[in-house]
Amino acid sequence: MRGEIRVAALLADRRLPTLEIRLLLAHALGHPRPAHAHAWLLAHDWDLVPAEARDRFELAVARRRAGEPIAYLIGHREFWGRDFLCTPAALIPRPETEHVVEAALERLPLGRHARVLDVGTGTGAIAITLALERPGLEVTAVDISEDALALAERNAHALGANGATGVRFLKSDWLAALAGEPLFDLIVSNPPYIAQGDPHLVEGDLRFEPWVALTDRADGLTAYRVLAQAVADHLAPGGHLIVEHGHDQGPAVQAIFAAARLVELEGRRDLAGLPRVTICRKAVDNWRP
């Protein structure tokens, strides 16, 4: 039988970076809030660790050492200050995607009703954040993955963005399920943009994330071509399209959007200084001929 062990002893584990040990230990001990893991552990550092919690911790450390993302091991990731449930059904929300939210909030006029569409919603991070930051928006979120949509609905429920005034989730291959709907005032998307054969797909966290969330199995630009065409039928004249893309895809994405007669093209950089977001607008006189 193993001897008794206290929280403090496991906190001193050096098999992983300190922050990761804290998150995995707090989770194994049943503390559900990653944001407060450290304070909670310090307050409990003299507690004895139950055998089952220690087993959970050991298993999580081994999985992490084998490369599994922390967010899947603890089941959460913070996005725009809120905790989103994460499972291998969907991409783990990334900090750079907060720039899409930021640009969207800047362009949504305060206090005015607007219809917003999030294409490829994953965990629901963008759609739910916009709905919670601007109550009164009519937010629709689509994804081709039923598992991702189920997770996004759980997130909407947990964060209070569900119900009659919450986000509407729809299964759709890009915008196919939205035919005949009223136009949207804003379309946002962080689509799968990694090209087939890109070595990053078999490195780091990406090895554990769903392929449908990462790559179009082509040149990485499929979604931008689809969106550029879709604005004709789905975006209101004067409305904005805001997308995330790879750091080296800005010129290609802008060329696709310019060819679709989208205007006011603007790139935005992430905190690392890399161009990761393109914003553009459908001209007021841009009606389908």
CB of 175 to ligand SAM, least distance (A): 8
- Distance (Å, rounded) from C-alpha 201 to C-alpha 207? 6
Which 50-109 positions form the footprint of ligand SAM (CB under 6 A)?
A: 90-91, 93, 97
- Distance (Å, rounded) from C-alpha 244 to C-alpha 276? 6
The Cα angle at residue 209 between residues 10 and 31, in degrees rounded to 5:
30
Nearer to ligand SAM, 21 or 141 (CB): 141
Which 105-144 positions form the footprint of ligand SAM (CB under 6 A)?
A: 120-123, 125-126, 142-144
DSSP the chain: -PPP-BHHHHHT--SS-HHHHHHHHHHHTT---GGGHHHHHHHTTTSBPPHHHHHHHHHHHHHHHTT--HHHHHTEEEETTEEEE--TTSPPP-GGGHHHHHHHHHHSPTT---EEEEES-TTTHHHHHHHHHSTT-EEEEEES-HHHHHHHHHHHHHHT--STTS-EEEE-STTGGGTTPPPEEEEEE----BPTT-GGGGSGGGGGS-HHHHB-SSSS-HHHHHHHHHHHHHEEEEEEEEEE--TT-HHHHHHHHHHTTEEEEEEEE-TTS-EEEEEEEE-TT----
Give yes or no for residue 167 binding ligand SAM (CB under 6 A).
no
Give yes or no for residue 190 binding ligand SAM (CB under 6 A).
yes
CB of 47 to ligand SAM, least distance (A): 35
Binds ligand SAM (CB under 6 A): choice among 34, 69, 166, 191: 191
To the nearest 10 degrees (0 to 180), the angle between helices 146-159 and 125-133 is 30
Give yes or no for residue 155 binding ligand SAM (CB under 6 A).
no
Binds ligand SAM (CB under 6 A): choice among 53, 148, 167, 262: 148
CB of 95 to ligand SAM, least distance (A): 11
Task: State the amino acid at position 118 in one-letter form.
Answer: D
Nearer to ligand SAM, 124 or 239 (CB): 124
CB of 123 to ligand SAM, least distance (A): 6
Window of 56-64, 68-76, 168-176, 257-265 that interacts with ligand SAM by CB under 6 A: 168-176
Nearer to ligand SAM, 20 or 96 (CB): 96
CB of 189 to ligand SAM, least distance (A): 7
Binding map of ligand SAM across residues 202-241, x = CB under 6 A, - = no contact:
----------xx----------------------------
CB of 64 to ligand SAM, least distance (A): 21
Binding map of ligand SAM across residues 10-49, x = CB under 6 A, - = no contact:
----------------------------------------
Residues at the contact surface with ligand SAM, assessed by CB under 6 A: 90-91, 93, 97, 120-123, 125-126, 142-145, 148, 172-174, 190-192, 212-213
